[in-house]
Every structure is written in structure tokens, then in C-alpha cells.
Amino acid sequence: MNILFICTANRDRSRTAEIYYQNKFPEHRFRSAGINKYLSERHGGIHLKQYMLDIADRIICAEHVHADYIIQKIDKKYLSKIEILKLEDTEEFMSEQLIKVLNEKFSIHRQTGT
């Protein structure tokens, strides 16, 4: 399964999720990207590209604004793949608290109602 984590700058939330879950579930492929090109590049992250959405089986957005960006700026055809964690930008890269919150909000098995 290909899982793509999306946040604003691909600095803390999505990058932490990618690294953490790739180590935890090596049988799956995890990637991450940010919707803000300037911030993503400024912080050494990856800016979201359409091909990333195409190959993803699941698109995990940190917040509604990330899903809205995909639907409004790229294409609404990705709506069925999108899940929203409601994960605020309050923790730093690979912090114990961020990993704890990720584990509370994300499951490798698809959840309903996200």
C-alpha cells in the first residue's frame, strides 16, 4: 500500500509520519509532502506534486486545509482517497508527543469517518 502524508511545509507532521511509519510498517510505502511550495523548499521538504496523489492508495492530510488545497487546486478526483487526521501544527519533528498523537489518530487499517 502507498500512503502519502500531507501537511503545510513537509517539515514536522508529514515528515515525522513518513519516517516513523516506514520504520514501523516496512511492507508498505510511505511518502510525505507539503502544500506550500515556498515553505516546503525553505525547510528542505518536498512540495506536493500531482503524480504523488496519483500513485497513493491513501492520502492522509494533517488538517482540512490540506484536503481543501488538493480538491480545489489540483483535482477533486482524489476525494475518495483523502483522510483527515485533524492534527494541529504544535509539535516538532520526531517529538515523542507528535508520535503519540499520530498513533492515536492514524491506523494502517482504513478508518471510517475521518
Domain count, the chain: 1
Structural domain span for residue 58: 2-105
Instruction: Please give the pLDDT value at position 53.
Output: 98
* pLDDT of 101 above 70: yes
Could you tell me if residue 111 is inside a domain?
no
Could you tell me if residue 61 is inside a domain?
yes
Question: Of all residues in the chain, what percent carry a pLDDT higher than 70?
Answer: 96
Could you tell me if residue 42 is inside a domain?
yes
How much is the pTM? 0.94
CATH number at residue 57: 3.40.50.2300
Kindly list the distances between the CA atom of residue 36 and the CA atoms of 10, 68, 101, in Å, as whole numbers in the listed order.
Answer: 9, 13, 23
Name residues whose C-beta falls within 8 Å of residue 29's C-beta, 6 or more positions apart in sequence: 1, 2, 3, 22
Could you tell me if residue 110 is inside a domain?
no
Could you tell me if residue 93 is inside a domain?
yes
What mean pLDDT is predicted for residues 22-32? 97
Instruction: Please give the pLDDT value at position 113.
Output: 40
Model confidence over 49-61: pLDDT tens digits?
A: 999 999 999 999 9
CA 21 to chain centre: 11
